[in-house]
Amino acid sequence: MQFKSLVILLALTATLPALATSSPHWAYEGRASPDHWGELSEQFQTCKNGQFQSPVDIKNLVDARLPPLEINFHTDTESIVNNGHTIQITVNDSDDFVLDNEDFKLMQFHFHTPGENHINGKAFPLEAHFVHANAQGELAVVAVMFEPGDKNSALDPLLAAIPPKINETEVLKKSVNLAALFPSDKHYYRFSGSLTTPPCTEGVRWLVMKETATLSQKQLQQFQRQLKQSNNRPLQPLHGRLIVE
């Protein structure tokens, strides 16, 4: 399998429920909610037993003087889908950055409302996860928090293109300025964590932007209306993990 195809497959299956019909149903409410994910399947045991789970409350930081993240923005968006768990956008080229002397390329990004990670106890109404993979298929997620404020023009073509039906994929006809979805200051918090959806696989490198981006109240309401329910996993214990900045 070619590298591009391999990492796309890894990124998609790692952040979304498996596509196979035998995949256990999971949800954010009721008997299949996050509190029960680990009971739904042997595949999901890490959701209950893992010691390095995400999301987390980012606090008690270690000053490692991390340099700002240098992202090369040259990706264009390809398609968008509401899969019943999130609004996800796939890409047809790869923004990239270097982390731990390895190249990480963007595979897809998606949204959670309300946001999942907290910063010093503060929750945010929207959080975007930009899922990157290296040549070995290892994942690094760059998270951006959004706060109500000025309208974010980069979100408009995404919101306008969300298909009316669940699991219906729509080709994005308008380019999206991904740089506008990030704050100008690229300093970040870093910790080792997991996927925030089943199977909750650990070993994910999390980079959470310190500064926030903005969106209008109307744009936030559009996300909430499309998703119809909250899609945030509750905070997970750190179990002695360090969060560096």
Collect all residues with Cβ–Cβ distance below 8 Å to 22 and sequence separation of at least 6.
none
Structural domain contains residue 243: no
Per the residue annotation, which of 36, 74, 85, 118 is the catalytic one? 85
Structural domain contains residue 238: no
Average pLDDT over residues 51-73: 96
Residue 1 has pLDDT above 80, yes or no: no
Structural domain contains residue 22: yes
At 19 the pLDDT is 36
CA distances to 88, 91, 193, 222, 225 from 130, in Å = 10, 11, 15, 20, 22
pLDDT band at 176 (very low <50, low <70, confident <90, very high): confident
Structural domain contains residue 242: no
pLDDT band at 94 (very low <50, low <70, confident <90, very high): low
* 68 preceded by a cis bond (ω within 30 of 0): no
Structural domain contains residue 214: yes
85 catalytic residue (yes or no): yes
What whole-number percentage of the chain has pLDDT above 90?
Answer: 84
Residue 143 has pLDDT above 50, yes or no: yes
Q: What is the pLDDT of residues 160-170, one digit of tens each?
A: 999 999 999 99
The angle at the Cα of 86, spanning 82 to 91, to the nearest 5 degrees, equals 70
Q: Domain limits at 60?
A: 3-227
Cβ–Cβ < 8 Å for 163, 170: yes
pLDDT band at 74 (very low <50, low <70, confident <90, very high): confident
At 153 the pLDDT is 94
At 175 the pLDDT is 84
Structural domain contains residue 236: no
At 21 the pLDDT is 41
At 7 the pLDDT is 45
CATH of the domain at 77: 3.10.200.10
Residue 26 has pLDDT above 90, yes or no: yes
pLDDT band at 5 (very low <50, low <70, confident <90, very high): very low
pLDDT band at 126 (very low <50, low <70, confident <90, very high): very high
Range name among 80-94, 181-195, 199-213 with the lowest pLDDT average: 80-94
pLDDT band at 4 (very low <50, low <70, confident <90, very high): very low
Measured in degrees and rounded to the nearest 5, phi and psi for residue 141 equal -110, 125
- Top pLDDT among 114 and 18 is at 114
Residue 103 has pLDDT above 70, yes or no: yes
Residue 229 has pLDDT above 70, yes or no: yes
* 234 preceded by a cis bond (ω within 30 of 0): no
Structural domain contains residue 233: no
Can you tell me the distance from the alpha carbon of 189 to that of 58, in angstroms, rounded to the nearest whole number? 8
At 95 the pLDDT is 74
Number of domains in the chain: 1
- SS3 annotation, the chain: CCHHHHHHHHHHHHHCCCCCCCCCCCCCCHHHCHHHHHHHCHHHHHHHHCCCCCCCEECCCECCCCCCCCCECCCCEEEEEECCCCEEEEECCCCEEEECCEEEEEEEEEEECCCCCEECCECCCEEEEEEEECCCCCEEEEEEEEEECCCCHHHHHHHHHCCCCCCCEEECCCCCCHHHHCCCCCCEEEEEEECCCCCCCEEEEEEEECCCEEECHHHHHHHHHHHCCCCCCCCCCCCCCCCEC
At 22 the pLDDT is 58
Structural domain contains residue 237: no
